[in-house]
Homo-oligomer: A and B are copies of this chain.
């Protein structure tokens, strides 16, 4: 990651990364499918933490409340090193390939939440709608959190965005 910040993502090779980490290129590829994956290494674990939170929500919880629990779990997972997250995000923002990879990871996260809601007995389109709305909150809150001007914990920013989503889409009467 540091190399991506120093040299730019495009100018960093797998050999450079392996060298900095004291690995051979061969060992590198045992851990990562390609150099993009270095930046998304934690995403499967995050997805599993969010799915576990969904599964653990009370059976009586409404779909979007269960999603809210998964968002809380994601904040626990990601909170902490905001400076690292900000550097990582600036590398991603500067490269079209990485922005695409991020979109794919977000779609995969939404798919995992949709599956989790279906396991809870939520029918379609509700499962997809609640999952996609949750991932929208996740992404927007995360991007706000890594901004220089945002000093609060991710969990707080996430809850505030969730509350705003509820208010914005509130039923008219």
| Interface positions of A (Cβ within 8 A of B) | 62-65, 100, 103-104, 107, 124-126, 128-130, 132-133, 136-137, 139-141, 144, 161, 164-172
| Contact of A171 (CB < 8 Å), options: B132, B133, B167 | B167
Q: Quick one: copies of this chain in the complex?
A: 2
User: Which chain B residues border A165 with CB–CB below 8 Å?
Assistant: 129, 133, 169
A125 touches B169 (CB 8 A): no
B103 touches A168 (CB 8 A): no
Give the shortest distance, in Å, between A89 (CB) and chain B (any CB).
15
A103, A125, A126, A141: residue with the most chain B Cβ atoms closer than 10 Å: A125
| Contact of A169 (CB < 8 Å), options: B141, B161, B166 | B166
A129, A140, A171: residue with the most chain B Cβ atoms closer than 10 Å: A129
Give the shortest distance, in Å, between A98 (CB) and chain B (any CB).
13
B144 touches A64 (CB 8 A): no
What are 22 A-B pairs at a CB distance below 8 A? A62-B168, A64-B169, A65-B172, A100-B100, A125-B161, A129-B137, A129-B140, A129-B164, A129-B168, A130-B169, A132-B136, A132-B140, A133-B133, A133-B136, A133-B165, A133-B168, A133-B169, A136-B136, A166-B169, A166-B172, A170-B170, A170-B171
